[in-house]
Amino acid sequence: MNYRLQLDRVSAAYEGVSVLKDISLVLPDGVFTAIMGANGSGKSTLLKLLGGAVAPVAGKILLDGKPVSALRPRHLARDIAMLPQFPLAPDGIRVAELVMRGRFPHQTMFRQWSAADRTAVDAAMAQAGVADLAHRLVSTLSGGQRQRVWIALVLAQDTPILLLDEPTSFLDIAYQVELMALLSELSERGRTIVAVLHDINQASRHASHLVMLAGGQVIAAGRPDEVVRAETMRAVFRLESVIVPDPVTFTPMVVPSELRRNR
């Protein structure tokens, strides 16, 4: 298994409160990895560590064996794109203008806009299914349309590694399926995808590598059939469940066996 991106005994904390403790993990190349865990378990933090947006209190995040903190931000941005959970859309911006901003790391002071930028932006908008929205104001879009515009922006950044924080939130079920299919297609074409996801069954279907976080640790990491087990569900979510094969893909599917519960 080849990998470029790796966490080596990484701990993270906010204002002294520990969130992740001593995590070691590799993110396999060209693979769609899903990060899962309960609310507040540190999924976003893990993604931000990988993207260099949060500095670890201990350990190293390595890209090609080099600490990401030692890379120039612009160089890192040509390898890793990250879509945060809550990006901001400037008031009055149009879809194409927003997607174009994904090209920043490929531009210089004297070459602000090139044919390559144009091609990348058009391809990204087509892939994310927002080409026909190009001239719309972002503020007039539905939540799902907006989410796809953000996806287009990080696709336009055209990086081999893509980090996405809950990209399926706000999408209806049909668009969720479409986005998951897009992400697995991108990984099949060689891109490394790391996405925080909530729907375990969906992740099992589309992602080939799952990482389960709980208590600041990686409880399980591996293929869906290795990770999605009743014991893992109990450990991560304190949920009793039975695991059955998905009737369509035969990947593991979680069926909660409790109808009511006290946390």
Partner 1 sequence: MTARLGLAVALASSMLCILALASLAIGAKSLPLGEVLAALTGDASDVANEIVAMRVPRMLLAILAGIGFALAGAVMQAVTRNVLADPGIMGVNAGASLAVVLCVALTGMAQPMTLVWAAMGGALVTGALVQIFSSLGGATALRLVLCGVAMSAIAGGAGWAVTLSDPDLFRRVLVWGAGSLIVTDFEPVRAVAPFVLAGVLLTLVLGPRLNAIALGNDLARSLGVGIAGTQMAAAASVVVLAGAATSATGPVGFVGLLAPLAARAVVGVDQRAILALTALLGPVLLLSADLLARVVLPQGEAPLGIVMAFAGAPVLIALAYRIGDL
Ligand X SMILES: Nc1ncnc2c1ncn2[C@@H]1O[C@H](COP(=O)(O)OP(=O)(O)O)[C@@H](O)[C@H]1O
User: Which residues of this chain interact with ligand X, rule CB under 6 A?
Assistant: 14-15, 19, 37, 39-45
Under the criterion CB under 5 A, does residue 168 sit at the interface with Mg ion?
no
Q: Using CB under 8 A, which of the segments 35-43, 92-100, 124-132, 225-233 binds partner 1?
A: 92-100
Q: Using CB under 8 A, which of the segments 25-33, 49-57, 190-198, 211-219 binds partner 1?
A: 49-57
One-letter amino acid at 218 equals V
Under the criterion CB under 8 A, does residue 143 sit at the interface with partner 1?
no
Residues facing 237 on adjacent strands:
none
For 152-172, letters b (16+ CB in 10 Å) and e give bbbbbbbbebbbbbbbbebbe
The span from the first CA to the last CA of the chain, in angstroms, equals: 39
The smaller minimum CB distance to ligand X, of residues 60 and 198, is found at 198
Give residue for tokens 């059939």: 225
| Cβ 83 to ligand X shortest distance, Å | 13
| Cβ 35 to ligand X shortest distance, Å | 8
The smaller minimum CB distance to Mg ion, of residues 44 and 241, is found at 44
Decide the pairing of beta strands 17-28 and 3-14.
antiparallel
What is each CA distance from 39 to 42, 46, 86, 241, in whole angstroms?
A: 8, 13, 15, 19
Under the criterion CB under 5 A, does residue 44 sit at the interface with Mg ion?
yes
- Are residues 84 and 165 in contact, defined by beta-carbon separation less than 8 angstroms? yes
Q: Using CB under 5 A, which of the segments 27-35, 40-48, 211-219, 231-239 binds Mg ion?
A: 40-48
User: Phi, psi (5° rounding) for residue 98?
Assistant: -65, -45
Give the dihedral of Cα atoms 86, 131, 29, 11; nearest 10 deg: -10
3-state secondary structure 31-42: CEEEEEECCCCC
| Cβ 85 to partner 1 shortest distance, Å | 8
Under the criterion CB under 8 A, does residue 97 sit at the interface with partner 1?
yes
Under the criterion CB under 8 A, does residue 102 sit at the interface with partner 1?
yes
| Cβ 134 to ligand X shortest distance, Å | 31
| Cβ 15 to ligand X shortest distance, Å | 6
Residues 198-237 that bind partner 1 (CB under 8 A): none
The residue ranges that bind partner 1 (CB under 8 A) are 48, 51-53, 72-78, 80-84, 86-93, 97-98, 101-102, 104-105, 107, 109, 112, 154, 157, 163
